[in-house]
A and B are shown apart, each in its own frame.
Chain A
Amino acid sequence: MKWVKKCPVLFILVISGTLFTMVGIAGKNSIYKDYEYNFTGTPFLALMMEGISKGEYPWDYLSYGAAIETVSETLNLPMGNEEDEDTADGKTELFEEEIPEDDVQESTDSNEEVSVDKSYDFIAVGEEYFDDAVFIGDSRTVGLFEYGGIENRSDFFAKTSLTIYDALTALIAKDEETGEKITVEEALQKKQYGKVYLMLGINELGTGTTETFMEEYKKVVKRLEELQPDAIIYVEGIMRVTGTKNESDPIFNNTNINERNEEIEKLADNKKIFYIDVNEVVCDGQGNLNDEYTTDEIHLKAQYYQRWKEFLLTKGIERDGE
């Protein structure tokens, strides 16, 4: 073992590499079982690394095993059920049980105030329309914030890689008094807006199905309604990608985007929730994102965010009594 002294780096790498590989092998069928694995491209230790990058640490393995055992003991379930989903479902059930009461109250409230059956048409408005607006979205909305020229009028709760799953819980808003970072949900509790614009969905294309996505989307919209009872909620269609991307990408293509957009559109009641689709002004004849407006096939170039803003200005809603 003379070489150990001569090659400390090599020695430590061999030892740690073996250790990480063992963690990977141990977790392969449990905590890492959903990860893609192929022998040549992913050494076992890569599973562990991937887990860490997703916030699942090797020591979760211990609690993973324990959790499954207790669950299956108490419920008499066979081993190997997806523990995460179970608990998530449990939570939502509780959540949904609470909501209806509020909902009923709310709808009766608004029934008294305005005639709720009335639906509205879009009208052209001026930029002051954005003064009481808030935008929630991913990197595309970040671009609108940076280059749309309305950053002084509206609030933006947007961040690269934001998804519908963390739209309300992400720490991307600022407490206006203390300057502390707060979640979107907290921010929406503190301040009432006239309009809420929501564009999310491209990052989620790789996860779940349209159904699971919409399930979460509906939850978020519902919560937005509760938090902002007087606001108009704009659910925006996901901006498409260019033709070349559309043809080459198995996930991030316009077929998948359109499928989800159609479902998002169904949420609109044209009373309180409105569907708008910016693709009308940024796409070419084939319905793909115009090549001239982008360099990376996904994001608008800075100067074309103006088109988005102009488009929003044609989609104003003026309700009676406002």
Chain B
Amino acid sequence: MVVFSGMEFLFRFLPIFLAVYYITPQKYRNTALLFGSIVFYAVGEPYFMLLLLASVYLNYILAKKICFYETEHRVKNKKKLKKKIIRKKKNKWLIAALLLDVGLLVVFKILGTFFGNEILPLGLSFYTFKMISFQVDIFRRDIKKLPTFERMAVYFMMFPQIISGPIMRYEEDDFTQEKKKYSWERLEEGLQYFILGLGTKVLLADRLAILGKDIHTIGYESISTPLAWLGAAAYSMQLYFDFWGYSLMTSGLCVMLGFPFIKNFDHPYSSCSISEFWRRWHMTLGSFFRDYVYIPLGGSREGRGRTVRNLLIVWLLTGLWHGGSLNFLVWGLVLFGLIVIEKLWIGKWLQKYPLIGRCYVLILVPITWTLFAITDINQLALYLGRLFPFIGGKGIAVNPHDIVKYLGMYGPYLAAGVIWCVPAVYRFVEKHRKHPAIIAALVGIFWLSVYCTVSMGNNPFTYLKF
């Protein structure tokens, strides 16, 4: 049920939940959302439900402590000496909170590295990050007033965001506002975003994923160099459409429930540099690392050496957050290297010649995604060898015509994907979303996505036939 494109979610959970939510008087809608989210999570992961509830509760207690020393004590004791002690005590509680949240994440990530990612609790990487940002914001007094337990629990657990983010901030937009904007228009708007996301995921990402599977079946040592590049390009699109599609669905759901639209992707593939790409890809993760790691470390204000060190820390953490195996570390380091080079030397030049910048991004990013995708280092070496045969990647039993077959099979999806990557196309759809043609198209996309999900779901091997 935790898959937004699945039948259980689309035709069981969502309609029932929406009906209940909108029948509930406005005052109690947060409660309805909290219970809905608990049901949603419990169906997907009954065991780790307790872990989630426990950490939500503990975080509330700790947030209360941090808040207490910040507000109440300060009013009572105005002497400077006391203030220092208060500061110390406050620090203590923040450290406890961070130990809890970071510790939870680290412990499970380590377990995941050894026993496989299946043992990771659903959404852990995302909800712990929300908790960290929440505690730090309380500490920094970015969150002015300690929220009620229910409101905080809704923030941590709301079902649209629990699985894979976005890592929305508590203070973001009008999340905290007592009066939410409910209207038919917003319901419709949210639904439209949801459908766009659904189509992006089911009709593009899931199709392109099969190419990756095909290439894997052939064996990396036996693919031609053009096919290796086609695979890298297709994977780059697949990853984007999968995550962007999910993010659109999530934000669409949020809008349907009266919450703000959280932007997580801003057409990253039209960037002119890798730094820009990462400001526009998974934006909530990037801004998390910026606000809670990079800037507290001094950002770029303390000289070149420090800047480079801070970037290194951020990118190592980014790599490790995505996974514990060596390839993620390599991936993070490569991105670090590229971003440092841009920051120190070629960044301005790339922005000045956007065409060169775009080509540079479109060539380099698929290579970095290859590092991201292939977790087995030997397999990764084989694939890189096929991408760059001149550095010693001699193939075995390569069929030089394989590219023709796979271009024929996946060409239409790749072409559609390229078009859907163009920012102007998306903006056009957004702008004319009330036009009958767009409305008809959205309805079509919805049913086509449902059709694809159903017809593939019946195959015991989700994607393939022999």
Contacts and interface: CB of A to CB of B under 8 A. Distances in A.
Task: Give the interface size bracket for A toward B.
Answer: 35 or more
Nearest to B401: A146
Given A7-B187, A7-B191, A13-B446, A46 B396 contact: no
A178 interface: no
B465 interface: yes
Given A49-B450, A146-B399, A12 B217 contact: no
Interface in B184-231: 184-185, 187-188, 191-192, 195, 213, 216-219, 221-223
Interface of B: 7-8, 11-12, 183-185, 187-188, 191-192, 195, 213, 216-219, 221-223, 396-399, 402, 405, 434, 436, 439, 442-443, 446-447, 450-451, 454-455, 458, 460-461, 464-466
Contacts of B446: 13
Interface stretch (A70-78, A121-129, A296-304, A312-320): A296-304
B216 A303 contact: no
Interface of A: 2-3, 6-10, 12-13, 16-17, 36, 40-43, 45-46, 49-50, 52-53, 138-140, 146-147, 149, 160-161, 202-203, 206, 249, 251-252, 294-296, 298-299, 301-303, 305-306
A16 B466 CA distance: 34
A252 B460 CA distance: 9
B7 A9 contact: no
Contact of A9 (B11, B442, B458, B460): B442
A219 to B, nearest CB: 22
Given A49-B450, A161-B465, A296-B217, A41 B397 contact: no
A138 B466 contact: yes
B188 A7 contact: yes
Given A139-B466, A147-B399, A41 B8 contact: yes
Residue from A49, A295, A305 with most neighbouring chain B CB atoms (10 Å)? A49
20 contacts: A6-B183, A8-B439, A9-B442, A10-B187, A13-B191, A17-B11, A40-B8, A43-B12, A49-B454, A50-B458, A52-B451, A53-B454, A146-B402, A161-B466, A249-B460, A252-B461, A294-B217, A301-B217, A301-B221, A303-B221
Contact of A301 (B12, B222, B464): B222
Contacts of B11: 17, 43, 45-46
- The list of the 7 closest CB pairs from A to B, nearest first, reads A302-B222, A53-B455, A301-B219, A161-B465, A43-B11, A49-B454, A6-B184
Nearest to B256: A10
Contacts of B216: 295-296
> Of A40, A52, A161, which is in contact with the most chain B CB atoms at under 10 Å from its CB?
A40
Nearest to B190: A10
Nearest to B460: A251
Nearest to B443: A12
A288 to B, nearest CB: 17
Contacts of A139: 465-466
B188 A6 contact: yes
Contact of B443 (A3, A9, A203, A306): A9
A52 to B, nearest CB: 7
Contacts of A17: 11
A112 B12 CA distance: 70
A12 B191 contact: no
A203 B399 CA distance: 25
Nearest to B396: A303
Given A41-B8, A147-B222, A50 B454 contact: yes
A296 B405 CA distance: 20
B217 A295 contact: yes
A282 to B, nearest CB: 14
A6 to B, nearest CB: 4
A2 B183 CA distance: 12
Query: Among the interface residues A9, A13, A45, which one has the most CB atoms of the partner chain B within 10 A?
Result: A9
B187 A299 contact: no
Contacts of B434: 8
Contacts of A46: 7, 11, 450, 454
A143 to B, nearest CB: 8
Given A7-B191, A9-B439, A9-B443, A303 B219 contact: yes
Contacts of B439: 8-9, 12
